[in-house]
Structure 1
Amino acid sequence: MSRGVSTRILDHIVHLTPPGTLQDSADALRKLGFTVSPGGTHADGQTANALVVFADGTYLELLHFTRPPPVSASTASAAAQHPWGRKQPGWIDYAFLGNAGTPSVAETINRRAVADRSGAHYAHEVRGGRKRADDGRVLEWLITAPEGDGTSVRGRLPFFCGDVTPREWRVPLEPRSNTEHANTAQGVAYVKLLVSPGDLDAYAKELTSVLGVSPLESSASQIVWELEPQPSHAGGHDTTHRTPTLVLGATNGEDEERYVRERGAGIYELGVAVTDAGRKGIAHTPYGRIVWEITTN
């Protein structure tokens, strides 16, 4: 890490559903035992969200486009130019915690990437925001995103969200009921990315530049980085013995190969930490894959 700026604090994971289906998405997550909190509409008016907030301070952003893009292929729609406009439903992106602009996250990562010769590159910070649905409060933040075509770069490398207004406005940890889930979810155990075996090493090198630390574990088929806990989390939540990890795996089998072929390298599954020892196995959102990970907190 450079000059006090951390670039490995997980903030949230973005889950996309088709235009106009935000309520359906929220209902599907509730059926899996999650508590869904109101979100709002983003400043550009193109997208709106709802939130699944965890006690560890991370959250799931349930996102949809408020209007579908025009049917005509010749019409250049704003949604199509949006970084997520051409994404398929499911886990499409992940955010780490940024800052209010100083020191610059982009400059920090870009310096590392030049030194590492990894090829990772981030654009300078841009302002973003949304209006909360429940009380109309306007939230503001700075986004630091990888540069390149949105269909290939966004979701492959993380973007960063740095709060200009207080983070608790964006991530409502209070009342405590927002972070209490019937399925006993406490937070994110891991985010797993998939890539073709031939691209594993290059992808890992980029991620190491972004995170600023060497992997915790590394093999020919999987590389794991330890992330840092969220500074803001629900009162009484113990973050000392469990921190999330970022897992990069090489595809193994036809299903995983098809997933990367159709969607590109990026998020394959999300590990959710739960305290219910009887909750094991895999669940679906239905567009995204969740693996329940038993934890003591």
Structure 2
Amino acid sequence: MLKIEFILFIICGHFTVVRLSVEKRGSHVRSSNYSPGSDTLLQVPPEPWFNDSVQTEVFAPVGGRASIECRVTNLGDTAVSWIRGRDLHILTIGSITYTQDPRFISHHTEDYKIWRLSIFPTLATDSGTYECQISTEPKRSKLFVLKTTDARSWILGGTEVLLREGGAINLTCQVEGHIRPAEYIHWFRGSDLLNQSPRGGIAINSDKGRGLSNLVIHKSLLKDSGNYTCSPSNSLPTTVQVHVLTKTDLAAFQTAAGLTGAEPRTNPTPLVLYLVLLSTLVLYSDNRS
């Protein structure tokens, strides 16, 4: 650490001490003025600097969303720009986009400390370096490397699941082709996040390193039917359609094996269409009565 102090004594009808202190820690420079007899510390705005706590190597699946995060402290009245390394094309300045490619968008937090460059959907050609630049003089830059992957996920057992009301919905999601473990593996029913659902009887167990996640919903209800999506942070999401049916509906299909519990049936589309129609007629009849 380099510290330089200047003390200037000025006599002009009264005694004043002006103290200029300059401290340098890496690229962070601070200065201040202090006047005796006053509790006020007048600070010259410090220079902006990068927070090095974030990863500079980012992975994103082809077809998914890439999010590159740049953290800046003491931004002040300077601006943050994103520049693509391969052609030095300015993608964004602040929140304004300077490319005709609508896949590139810049976001920032309310305190202007975190700036994210989002690319959606990603292409294999998006791999390369991206520069987060602060408009100081001289410019300050931090480089990030984006690597696209072929990571994908799927839910074991097929694209449709039939089960009896009261049984357990049991879905297992597997991810392969990923480079790093997922930061999270989210489960959705429609747009509802099940990881934070107020509904009781939901159990989610995930092994992010191996790329496995299991969702169990005990004592299923008819209203639990819908599209269930497994959405890992490091892979494309995958969806299956779950149909929770009454015992009466299932009785007509005794020859179809595996309809208890949550064992899936492969390609049951004609059957599902019939059941959906039957359920609609039953609901309509109940409403009329």
Normalised by the length of structure 1, the TM-score is 0.22
The structure with the greater share of residues assigned to strand is 2
Higher relative contact order (CA 8 A, sep 6+): 1
The structure with the greater share of residues assigned to helix is 1
Normalised by the length of structure 2, the TM-score is 0.22
